[in-house]
A and B are shown apart, each in its own frame.
Chain A
Amino acid sequence: MLPQRVARLRRLALIGLAGALAVTMSACASERGSGGGANDTFVFGAAGAPKNFDPIFNDDGESFRPARQMFDTLVTYKPGTTELVGDLATAWTPSADAKTWTFTLRQGVKFHDGTPFNAAAVCFNFDRWYNMKGAGAQSQMIYYGDVFEGFAKNEGDATGAPVYKSCEAKDDYTAVLNLNKAKGAFPDAFGLTSLSISSPDALKKYNADNVTQSGDSFTYPEYATDHPTGTGPYKFQSYDKTNKTITLVRNDDYWGDKAKTSKLIFKIIEDENARKQELAAGTIDGYDFPSPADYSSLKDAGNQVLIRPAFNVLYLGINQKNNPKLQDVRVRKAIEYAINKDQLAKNKLPTGAYAQTQFLPNNVPGYTDAVEKHSYDPNQAKALLQQAGATGLTLNFYVPTEVTRPYMPNPVDIGGAIADDLKAVGINVNIVQEPWNGGYKDDVQKAGKQDIHLLGWTGDYADAGNFVGTFFGRQKAEFGFNDPAVFNALSNADAQVTPETKKAAYEQASLVISQYVPAVPLTSSPPAIVVKSNIHNLIPTPLTDERFYTVTKG
């Protein structure tokens, strides 16, 4: 009976073979490795495919996660905190005007291709970014564009004047970076994964700058797809697109503590439920951003739900352009009074989430208790609406779909709860839901079609400017207001060079913002990472930039 069935299957399979050979354009044959014991491989469930493996062309967590295991940056953040520590640089000192940064580099570090890491390599990387050619390549260097503002020759529509001036290798282990202007973002921004240091040899060998447009998209060079070469604890082995797995192997020449598992596999599972089920089935050892709905069942099943410190802000945006009533600060305050943030945090957000009074997480310098608070008070909200002559106010409320972010694990439900609160004080809410990539971002951030909307931000580093400066630093279609007091407070804060004056200036800015209510800060939520009970030494960090080389299994 059984052999007969197998024979039939085989016959069927062979019929398919002809078709398969004709159709399978990239037949992928991988050597069947002997592999280590299961305890020597850490399998992590990724939520999406990386765009490519060259960090400079990426700006999303799924692309960064594998990159962080293979690359190092000049400075980095101490695991579990946002505090800056050395990585490829052991010391970094600014000049008095903060326009020159001198990096003392780590010695004895080798790239994965065996070439040495030194000051020349660092400068090669900075020069490469600055001199990047082609509108396609430049337009995708989102973080570089944010931090350094411009290129040697701006192509496309980018018009910023470059912050970067030059880089010189004073000796093998001293790199000096000259800037055209000081920026508050430094030195923290040097730790951005996008600014990872690659092997100059490999960059040249695999045409790393050769990003070409093809139709509605881009084709990336071999360096970015098959040969990422850094100095990190793991080396790139393969990306099997058929089975959706990325395999990294231990870098035995790593300069620091060697990776504990010899293999690190990322299995791409887009569906949240599927990730959970694979964890239960034991085919993956952990995954990122479990849904808050699953925390208790995951824990009941014996897994560890590791909670990171919250490092994000969810806000209810207010666009003053379309509805004149919203230009009245009393109406904006009424909206804030109407929302029960504590209940929202409790009902819809994971354990550890807290109601916000301002647009900074409480672990960022600049967060202060001395802001004007508008805690839940529906009667106050009704009274303010009455005073402003805005009873019967109707608002178009834009809510994104098909997206989860650490600050909003379920935007649709969160939006629903807020709408219920607003309705309770007599505001009519007209809900408009749009897919994140299917119109929402365009309509809200570019066209400003909404009256109110749901959005948030996860910090890149512990600089208040990265939060409030991004939101309210200048006039934007998203908020549609022009208030010099807010703009000035923020530009003043960004110009401060010493940590102490910077902190004070941002505390002042937070106060100004809380009085103006350009939007309603809602909550900060800690994203979690879940691993099986036999996984140890994974340190959850607020920046969600975990390194897996410390992880042991068994």
Chain B
Amino acid sequence: MLRFIVRRLLQAVPTLLVLSILVFAWLRLLPGGPAGALLGDKATPQKLADLNHVLGLDQPIFVQYGKFLGRILSGDFGASLISGDSVLAEVGRAFPATIELAVFALVLAIAFGIPLGYAAARFHGRLIDNATVLTTLIGVAVPVFFFGVLLKYIFAQKLGILPPSGRQDVTIDATHITGFFTLDGLLTGEFDAFWDAVKHLILPAIALASIPFAVIVRITRASVLDVQSEDFVRTAESKGLTTPVIRRRHILRNALLPVSTTIGLQTGLLLAGAVLTEKVFNIPGLGYLLAQGIERRDYPRLQALLLLAALVYVIVNLLVDVSYAIIDPRVRVR
């Protein structure tokens, strides 16, 4: 087992190296440069060239890559050109914002998606079923950012019942411990701060939930339809079990298995959707950092975000492989 893990770890090294080259190449291929982002309006071309020299951007590309790799390995990701703050600290702060939003969105998607999917399957072919299928397809067809803009326009701008952007009202002066503002509100007992953070989450979470919601409804519906026609359900019926018991014990429980895997798989989608949602609602999360980083050519920030994503990708793969090996010993041999 240990040998298997070590082997997998060693295999991950070249993957990471290739990914680091890809990230570096992408950064250097981006038009523009950090000097332009660092200096403001009054910078002359001469000043920009000076700064490029100071930053070593006029050195041969492999020298730059070597330095880049050296810095990364020593854990130095540099400071953001936009905020001047350490990129790692920035990412560390943005992380809770995105996770909080993603969790809220997922909770919404599940809370409404599963019952609706189940109802659609129960009344298969009837009006509610067709309506549900149509709704989910519309959910996929509406661009996420436009849905967000629309929600903001109606509920924040026109009706004024929910805040338009941000994570928390500035005047609330809340205490922050974990960076998850809702959690902080509960932990410190500042319930006004908690409620305010929740209110800020509602609209972006709905916007972000639209696609996972549609997916969950469809999977639940398909899965319940499948299970309904399985032999064990018929057996249960023939045994004379009451309908509610069959539904609860047999159909729902079995149908939810594929649903739960789907939910796990929505993570990537949620993070991609967060780029748009966070931009629309001005939430300082990872997606926002990325969009702003691209817009303003914040090289250190983009570099850190991409490398982090690559690292997470490799680690998750590793963990999955290892857990498979624990469950299924045959994998180890291969």
Contact = CB atoms under 8 A, between A and B. Distances in A.
Interface of A: 9-10, 12-14, 16-17, 19-21, 23-33, 35, 38, 41, 43, 48-52, 58-60, 135-136, 139-140, 142-143, 145-146, 156-158, 213-220, 225, 240-245, 265, 267, 269-271, 274, 277-278, 280-281, 283-284, 402, 405, 434-439, 441-442, 445-446, 458, 460, 477
B183 A27 contact: no
Contacts of B152: 277
Given A146-B42, A243-B176, A446-B45, A216 B299 contact: yes
Interface string B183-195: 1001010100000
A487 B328 CA distance: 81
B106 to A, nearest CB: 10
B176 A438 contact: no
B44 interface: yes
Contacts of A437: 32, 36-37, 295-297
Contacts of B165: 269, 271, 274, 277-278
A142 B40 contact: yes
Most A-side CB within 10 Å, residue of B36, B77, B82: B36
B83 to A, nearest CB: 4
Nearest to A456: B41
Given A24-B95, A35-B173, A442-B32, A136 B178 contact: no
Contacts of B81: 216-217
B76 A215 contact: yes
Contacts of A441: 36, 43, 48
Given A274-B164, A435-B295, A442-B48, A43 B171 contact: yes
A59 B42 contact: yes
B170 A243 contact: yes
Q: Which of A19, A49, A217, A245 has the most CB of B within 10 A?
A: A217
B71 interface: yes
Nearest to A43: B170
Contact of B41 (A50, A218, A271, A405): A405
A119 B36 CA distance: 37
A283 B165 CA distance: 10
B40 A59 contact: yes
Interface string B1-38: 00000000000000000000000000000111110111
B84 A139 contact: no
A224 B291 CA distance: 27
Interface of B: 30-34, 36-51, 53-55, 57, 68, 71, 76-86, 88-90, 92-93, 95-96, 99-100, 103, 107, 152, 156-157, 160, 163-171, 173-180, 182-183, 186, 188, 190, 279, 281-282, 284, 292, 295-297, 299-300, 303
A274 B282 contact: yes
A64 to B, nearest CB: 10
A21 B178 contact: yes
A206 to B, nearest CB: 15
Contact of B55 (A28, A60, A213, A436): A213
Nearest first, the 6 closest Cβ-Cβ pairs linking A and B are A215-B78, A277-B164, A25-B92, A60-B40, A446-B45, A438-B32
A48 B57 CA distance: 26
A270 B165 CA distance: 11
B83 A283 contact: no
Contacts of B41: 59-60, 405, 458
A434 B31 contact: yes
B48 A446 contact: yes
A446 B36 CA distance: 11
Contacts of B90: 241
12 contacts: A16-B100, A17-B180, A32-B173, A135-B53, A139-B51, A157-B49, A244-B166, A274-B165, A278-B166, A283-B166, A437-B32, A442-B45
B11 to A, nearest CB: 26
Given A51-B84, A269-B166, A12 B103 contact: yes
A277 B157 contact: yes
Contacts of A9: 182, 186
A544 to B, nearest CB: 12
Contacts of B190: 32
Contacts of A220: 79, 84
A457 B303 CA distance: 33
Contacts of A51: 83-84
A458 B83 CA distance: 23
Contacts of B107: 12
A534 B280 CA distance: 29
Among the interface residues A32, A215, A278, A441, which one has the most CB atoms of the partner chain B within 10 A? A215
A438 B31 contact: yes
B10 to A, nearest CB: 26
Nearest to A9: B182
A267 B77 contact: no
A24 B178 contact: yes
B301 to A, nearest CB: 9
Contacts of B30: 438
B78 A216 contact: yes
Residue of A225, A442, A445 most packed against chain B (CB within 10 A):
A442
A24 B186 contact: no
Contacts of A280: 157, 160, 164
Nearest to B168: A243
Contacts of A52: 84
B183 A26 contact: no
A507 B25 CA distance: 52
B149 to A, nearest CB: 9
Contacts of B51: 139-140
Nearest to B164: A277
B39 A142 contact: yes
A194 to B, nearest CB: 10
B325 to A, nearest CB: 25
Contact of B84 (A19, A31, A218, A439): A218
A267 to B, nearest CB: 5
Contacts of B37: 437
Contact of A158 (B50, B82, B99, B295): B50
A145 B47 contact: yes
